[in-house]
Amino acid sequence: MAQGSTAWVTLATNDGYAIGALVLAQSLRNVGTQHPLHIMYTSGVSPPLKEQLLATFDASNEVNVLDSNDSENLALIGRPDLGVTFTKLHCWRLTQYSKCVFLDADTFILQNCDELFSHPELSAAPDIGWPDHFNTGVFVYVPSEETYQNILQFALSYGSFDGGDQGLLNQYFHNWREQDASHRLPFTYNVTSSAIYAYAAAIKRHAQDIKIIHFLGKQKPWQHYGTGGQMYVSEYLQKWQQVYIDKVQQCLPTSLVRHSRTVQVAVPSRSNLVSHTKDQSTHGPQTVALASSIAKEVDSDRQVGPSAGVPEESRYAAWEFGQPDYTGKDSFENIQKQIEKSLE
């Protein structure tokens, strides 16, 4: 590959993230990107998935797992699995490219984002949990062996405040917040899945501008299949699943394919989440409503008929996403009564 070219870069450390990377690659091609796709993968990816990655991406390389060895800080945020995310630092070693955009394998492209390559290093969107920091699920960078070595030395000297790559890179690129606007990507380039429910009104207002969805957290899109549990999905997760069904599932070994029949989508509104069921083929994902344990407790002494099943499940899902009906069944008075009852 000629020096001076650009690339989208992602990382797969196991089969789950490999599936995510395959869907991500297809979503990039669906929106007509003009830039090549590069996958970094580790030995944690099984041979069948590795074969699919090599067939799907324009370029690839195997990397060793870098572990932060910072188990204490990782434990503080409840994510001991994040240690391997340090492995993404290998992206700075892809010096055959003049500029790259790194995308976590749990991101999904909704609109063409090729304009990101016009941004300087380090460009990223604010993190929803602490906007003075950037989220490392999407960032623009310039590959450099010198930068790679400097980041590693920085990590050895100072560690990471959260034990993961995000804490480390925010410490290393500590002046990101003070730099000019070209370094600060709009939130629409890295809309985290939690925002879909926590900021429903804003999502509705800016839906047409959203370009990249980031399925942040321990529950990933590729884990929503055949779990036997109940889970509502947003329209964005449904889009991810549709690409998986149409373009990825058929390429996977049968041992990794999970079959189901129904998608149930939760649509955020001002006061609740309304479910809409859409029938899919026999290979579609099966996901229905999550139930909040506290909402169930409040309503445990009520008789709910079969016809009321979906509304009640919507109510439980609303609890999960921080939108309980404070003026109805989930009022403080009712919750207090249930707490007092449990203490008797």
- For 56-110, what is each residue's pLDDT tens digit? 999 999 998 877 666 766 665 666 655 666 789 999 999 999 999 999 999 999 9
- Reported pTM: 0.72
Residue 6 confidence (pLDDT) above 60 = yes
Chain centroid to Cα 320, Å, comes to: 18
- DSSP per residue over 162-175, as a string? SSSHHHHHHHHTTT
Q: Note the pLDDT of residue 84.
A: 66
Q: For the chain, how far is it from start to end, CA to CA, in angstroms?
A: 72
Q: Note the pLDDT of residue 218.
A: 82
Q: Note the pLDDT of residue 200.
A: 80
pLDDT band at 143 (very low <50, low <70, confident <90, very high): very high
Q: Note the pLDDT of residue 284.
A: 37
Q: Note the pLDDT of residue 204.
A: 85
Mean pLDDT over each residue of the chain, to the nearest integer: 77
Q: Which domains does the chain have, with CATH numbers?
A: 5-194 (3.90.550.10)
Q: Note the pLDDT of residue 343.
A: 58
Sign of the alpha-carbon torsion through 145, 147, 153, 156: negative
Residues 6+ apart with CB under 8 A from 104: 10, 11, 136, 137, 138, 214
The Cβ-side half-sphere exposure at 302, using a 13 Å CA radius, reads 15
Q: What is the average per-residue pLDDT within 5-15?
A: 97
Q: Note the pLDDT of residue 233.
A: 52
Q: Note the pLDDT of residue 247.
A: 94
Sign of the alpha-carbon torsion through 302, 305, 306, 311: negative
